[in-house]
Every structure is written in C-alpha cells, then in structure tokens.
Structure 1
Amino acid sequence: MTLELQSVGRQINAKWIVHDLSFSVKQDECLVLVGPSGCGKSSTLRLIAGLDRCQQGTIKFGNRDVTHLPPSERAVGMVFQSYALLPHLTVYENLELGLRIRGVRIEERSRRIQHILDLVQLADRANHRPSALSGGQRQRVALARALLRNAMVYLLDEPMSNLDAQLREQIRPELRRLILDQGKPTVYVTHDQNEALAMANKIAIINNGEIVQLDTPIHLYNNPNSLFVAQFLGRPQINCLKPRDHQIQAIRPEDLKFSESGLPCRLVSREWLGNTQLLYLESAEGGLRMVAEPSFQCPERLFVTWQQSKVFRFDAKTGLRTS
C-alpha cells in the first residue's frame, strides 16, 4: 500500500500553510519531513490524519481516496511529542484501552499486547506505571500503542524531541527497526538533522509550505538544488564565498584543506567536539568554518584550499543551483 499526496493544500487567513504538496511513500518506507519552524511539517501530518481539512488536492491510501474522510475512518497511527500516556494506568492498561474500546476480545487483546511488548522490549515493564519508566521507555510505550492500531499509515511528529541526545542515539536504530517491521508507509517529522539522516529512506525539505527538494539523504547532501537546501542540510553549515559574476560559490567545512599556499586565513576561535574540532576562520572571502582533526594544533595564520569539484554554485538572485 502506498500513501500518496497529490497537489495538497490548506489555507489559513488567506495564507497557504501547505501549498501544492505532492509525494508518495511506499510500504517499508520512511519519509522524513524537515524544514524551519512553521514551514508546514506538522500541518502536513494533520492533513494526512484528517485532523485538518484539505482545501485542494487529494490524499490516497493505496487506491482509496481519503481526502474528505474523518480521522476515525483513515486507520492512522500517530505519535506526538507528548506521549499522552494515562498516568494512573499501567503500561499494559495504556496499551489495552484502545483495543477494549474497539471491542477486541480479551484473548486477542492479550496476544497482541504481549507481541508488541516483546517487539519494543518492554515485557518486563508491563505492570509499571508511566512515572516508573525512563523517557526512552515511555517513548516506546507511545510507539507500541500506535503500532497496536494496526494502521494503514504511521505519522510520527517529533517522537524523540523530549529525549536527551544520548538516549536518542540509542533509540534511533530500534525505532527504525520497528518501523520497517510494520511494513507500512511512515511519515516522520523532526528538527534533528542527524535523526532525519539516520531514519529516512527519503527526506523532503519544506519551506513556506512547499517542498523545495525531495530525495534520498545522501543525494540531498551531495546534490542540493538550491542554496536554501545546501545551507539547511549539514552541520556545521556550508561556507558561502563572496558572490562573483552573479553567482554564490559554497563549500562544505569538511572539504576545506590546509595547504602551504592558497586562501590566507586567520584563526578566530575553535570548538573542540571530541572526535573533531571546528575552526572559525576569517578571510578575504568572509568567515569560514573548517573541520579538523582533534589533535591538530592550528596556527593563528594559515592557508586553506579546496577542490573545485567540491564547490557548489548558485544563482545569486534566485538561489538555484547552476553547477
């Protein structure tokens, strides 16, 4: 089954918050939506779920047009930033509640809950209340509840935003495995670029309610179609040289190299990041960021160079890629 959006849009106060959005997500695929705050990522999830009204275009689950169906008829599983677990119920009872409301027989409820608890590795926490769980465990309970929905489509809105960086790194591979095991189209929203690159089969970069580029993570990083995409994807952020001949040249920090001759630079400051250090340089081309080995002793004055094949060129007026 494929999730498909065709020219989908929604207006609020005569302003398009989602405009002419088109993409498809196959089973076993995870499409990650990224973009600046307020660009329309969460609004897109709400349109897919039926929580907001679609004012143009169509939304299809396979061959079924769900554009104007209420949420209750779409069979969507959602996980939000807030896990919304009922604090007075145990993990098992939180998972059971939705099944009981839908009239699932007790034997079937027990079988499905035990299976999903094994899947998220929380069988030994079934009788614990949410307050006794770690943040990562609560996240897995919320995910398990969504997976129990036996949904046609899964929508995850920053499900790990409340977790610390170390816990996110631990959970990411497990969460991706759970998504793939379900074999259903998944749309995932995050502000964390590392999370996006790790989770996605495809990434859609959104700005002002429109998709500016959609591709695989590696192709997006290596072949941005605009200066906006090049600057948005990648940390440290790409370096932009002074415009020449109506073009902006850009080079990623990891592609700058030390040399005995080249562009003269002055070291302004540095950040030691453990396995690397980030150097902030001043040059005739403007401020530059450069990645170096952690043990490198950078002099105050130095020269840097780069391969021309690593340079991106963008139109200075439109920001679109020229070469």
Structure 2
Amino acid sequence: MTLELENVGRNINKQWIVENICLTVADNECLALVGPSGCGKSTTLRLIAGLDPVSAGSIHIRGRDITSLSPSERSIGMVFQSYALLPHLTVFENLELGLRVRGVPKPERRFKIKGILDLVQLWNRADNRPAELSGGQRQRVALARALLRDPEVYLLDEPMSNLDAQLREDIRPELRRLVLEQRKPTIYVTHDQHEAMAMAQRIAVLHEGRIEQIDTPYNLYHNPESLFVARFIGRPQINCLKGDSGSIRAVRPESIRFSDEGLSGKLQSREWLGNSQLLFLETQQGVIRMMTSPDQGIPAQIRLTWRAEDEILFDADTGLRSRR
C-alpha cells in the first residue's frame, strides 16, 4: 500500500481530537472520509499533510516514514475548499509561483503549465484572474496546482463545498476522472455522502475522532457494522424500531411496503422526489419513512410490513451489529 496511517492521533490539551486512525490507500484508489461536523475529517487530512503535528502513531508513503517531515518534504498535493488562489495574479501566474520557488527554468515552467491547463481544459483562461472565473473553473485551477506538483499523494478537503448543487453534479465526473487518471492514492474529505459514494471506491466513516467503519459504498449501505453508520449512510435515513431483548431493528425506507396486515399507520406528510415519493407515516413505533413510486396510491387503512431479511439488528446498549 502506498499511503499508510498506523494508530495516528492528535491530542490538544489532553483531549484526543482524532485517535487510533488506521487506514491504507493504494495507487489509483480514492478513499473518502465522511462524518458529522467535528468528527476529525479535516484534522486527519492536516496530519497527513504535516499542517498539524502528530501526537501518536506514524504516517508512511511508499514505506517512507514522513511523520516528522515538514509539509514541503512530504510530496503531497492538497486541494482546499477555499481554492487559495492569489486574486491579483492570473491563472498562469498562480500556477507558476510554486514552480518558480522550486527553481524550475522558465521554458519548462511554461511547458508544464500549458500541459496541466490543457488537461483541466482551461488554457484559454490562462491570462484571467480568479475573479473572472466561475466557481467550477477556480476549483479546476486549484486542482491543476496540486497536479502540477506531481506528488505521491493527493488530499482533497471538501473541494466542491463552495459550489452550488447543479455545478457539483456537473463537475463531479470530471474531477473524478482527473484525480483517478493520476493513478496516485487520494483521500477525499466531504460532508456530502452522495459525493463520497460517487467519487470513492471506499469510504471511511468517522465518529468522535475514530473510524467507525471502512468499506465500499455498497457494504456501508447494506451491511453497516454499527447503528451510527446505518443512520449516517443513506438518505432518506434508515428507520429504527424497538426490537426484542434490548435490540433495535433497522429497515431502509425502500423496504417498507403497504399490506393488508401489519403495523398500522397514518400519513403525516410526503415529499415528491421526481421518480419517487417519500412518505412520513405516524405509527406506535414512531414516524416511519417509506419510499414508493410517485404513482403509488395511499390506502384508506394504512398497514405497513417488510421482509425479515430486510431488517438489520443492533444491540441497543452498544449500538453494534447483532448477528442472527
């Protein structure tokens, strides 16, 4: 594995911000870090980049221990959510700055910048300043700057959070192509789980500074190892119902269906989602979410059921998955 974190932690004033982070990322792999605000996603990225000191554990790139190295010695390309472009410089000058600092000769600088701007399809914008670009174009310039370093690892910290929903959807396939074409290990931090599932082959779910589960998007959705992961992954959120002997039964909204017998309910509200509708149904077990086709009729007497094999059982005390 190319990038490896072994029991990495960050302690501030005797409080662990992140603790025992263990993960590996291979060449040509994108791993997404997701979790609620304050769970340690960006802190983990800053530890890898060397922007914050590591309090415990070690970080290796291709077997080389980089834990104590400065950011400039780590061969890491980082893309920030703020773009971090200098407003008084043109696109070309923003990209040239790092090459000049590294002593790259002028003819080679132009050759490299021309190549990278062609890659992100922005050579025709080389003489524009950041304020003259769209949000998507500024993000591509920030990515071009990271690609220009030709690092061993890429770190992307919520790179599309400043873009509107439509633009994020438009630029996502292009960003994924540009990142994966580099065939380098990539860590992608996002608060948007849909974005994580679209960008990454594997996802690490963080909770209170620890990794709750690392797996493929499919397995996180269908085989969550904890109630936290089950609730966090998937929109609309999974239904949680009281079970027997201190257990919690979790059922995805798309697994709920109307029946002649079962749990009685009453329609509280509905949301139209284009090719489906989301129903909120009041029951003795609380509000249950149900996904149906947009033309699904609502029976006068609502009763709900689901298959036993669609339930995921969790221990109510530990929140961990129970085995049948």
Please give the range of the TM-score, normalised by the shorter of the 2 chains: over 0.9
297-306 vs 254-263, which moves further: 297-306
- The answer as to 2:284 corresponding to 1:316 is no
- Unaligned segments of structure 1, at least 5 residues: none
User: In structure 2, what is the equivalent of residue 86 of structure 1?
Assistant: 86
User: In structure 2, what is the equivalent of residue 27 of structure 1?
Assistant: 27
Q: Output the CA distance in 2 between the equivalents of 1:221 and 1:296.
A: 25
Instruction: Give the C-alpha shift of residue 105 in structure 1.
Output: 1.2
Deviations 1:135-164 (A, max 9, x none): 111111111111111111111100000111
* Aligned amino acid, residue 139 of structure 1: Q
Q: Output the CA distance in 2 between the equivalents of 1:170 and 1:145.
A: 21
Q: Output the CA distance in 1 between the equivalents of 2:301 and 2:242.
A: 21
User: In structure 1, what is the equivalent of residue 154 of structure 2?
Assistant: 154
User: In structure 2, what is the equivalent of residue 237 of structure 1?
Assistant: 237
Instruction: Give the C-alpha shift of residue 244 in structure 1.
Output: 2.2
Residue 237 of structure 1 contacts residue 253 of structure 1 at CA under 8 Å; is this kept in 2? yes
Equivalenced residues, count: 323
Q: Output the CA distance in 2 between the equivalents of 1:25 and 1:94.
A: 30
- The answer as to 2:179 corresponding to 1:182 is no
Q: Output the CA distance in 2 between the equivalents of 1:198 and 1:172.
A: 8
Q: Output the CA distance in 2 between the equivalents of 1:113 and 1:33.
A: 30
Deviations 1:246-272 (A, max 9, x none): 100010001111223222111000111
Q: Output the CA distance in 2 between the equivalents of 1:113 and 1:217.
A: 35
Deviations 1:41-64 (A, max 9, x none): 111011101111111111000111
Within a 5 Å distance, the mapping from 1:130-279 to structure 2 comes to 130-279=130-279
Q: Output the CA distance in 1 between the equivalents of 2:105 and 2:143.
A: 22
Residue 267 of structure 1 contacts residue 300 of structure 1 at CA under 8 Å; is this kept in 2? no
Task: Please give the root-mean-square deviation of Cα atoms over the aligned residues, in Å.
Answer: 1.1
Q: Output the CA distance in 2 between the equivalents of 1:30 and 1:46.
A: 17
Q: Output the CA distance in 2 between the equivalents of 1:217 and 1:111.
A: 39
Q: Output the CA distance in 1 between the equivalents of 2:276 and 2:116.
A: 40
Secondary structure of residue in 2 paired with 1:320: coil
Deviations 1:99-119 (A, max 9, x none): 111111112111111111111
Matched-pair identity in %: 64
Instruction: Give the C-alpha shift of residue 299 in structure 1.
Output: 4.1
Instruction: Give the C-alpha shift of residue 296 in structure 1.
Output: 2.5
Q: Output the CA distance in 2 between the equivalents of 1:42 and 1:280.
A: 34
Residue 42 of structure 1 contacts residue 157 of structure 1 at CA under 8 Å; is this kept in 2? yes
* Aligned amino acid, residue 258 of structure 2: F
* Aligned amino acid, residue 227 of structure 2: L
User: In structure 1, what is the equivalent of residue 304 of structure 2?
Assistant: 304
Q: Output the CA distance in 2 between the equivalents of 1:228 and 1:301.
A: 33
Q: Output the CA distance in 2 between the equivalents of 1:314 and 1:306.
A: 17
Secondary structure of residue in 2 paired with 1:260: strand
User: In structure 2, what is the equivalent of residue 12 of structure 1?
Assistant: 12
* Aligned amino acid, residue 184 of structure 1: K
Secondary structure of residue in 2 paired with 1:241: strand
* Aligned amino acid, residue 206 of structure 1: L
Instruction: Give the C-alpha shift of residue 297 in structure 1.
Output: 3.4
Q: Output the CA distance in 2 between the equivalents of 1:165 and 1:235.
A: 16
294-303 vs 98-107, which moves further: 294-303
User: In structure 2, what is the equivalent of residue 47 of structure 1?
Assistant: 47
Deviations 1:233-289 (A, max 9, x none): 000000001242110001000111122322211100011122221110011222100
Q: Output the CA distance in 2 between the equivalents of 1:270 and 1:159.
A: 33
Q: Output the CA distance in 1 between the equivalents of 2:105 and 2:229.
A: 50
Secondary structure of residue in 2 paired with 1:68: coil
Secondary structure of residue in 2 paired with 1:281: strand
* Aligned amino acid, residue 125 of structure 1: R
Instruction: Give the C-alpha shift of residue 308 in structure 1.
Output: 0.9
Q: Output the CA distance in 2 between the equivalents of 1:225 and 1:191.
A: 20
Secondary structure of residue in 1 paired with 2:242: coil
* Aligned amino acid, residue 282 of structure 1: E
Q: Output the CA distance in 1 between the equivalents of 2:256 and 2:243.
A: 18
Secondary structure of residue in 1 paired with 2:261: coil
Q: Output the CA distance in 2 between the equivalents of 1:120 and 1:308.
A: 49
Instruction: Give the C-alpha shift of residue 311 in structure 1.
Output: 0.3
User: In structure 1, what is the equivalent of residue 73 of structure 2?
Assistant: 73
TM-score by length of 1: 0.97
- Unaligned segments of structure 2, at least 5 residues: none
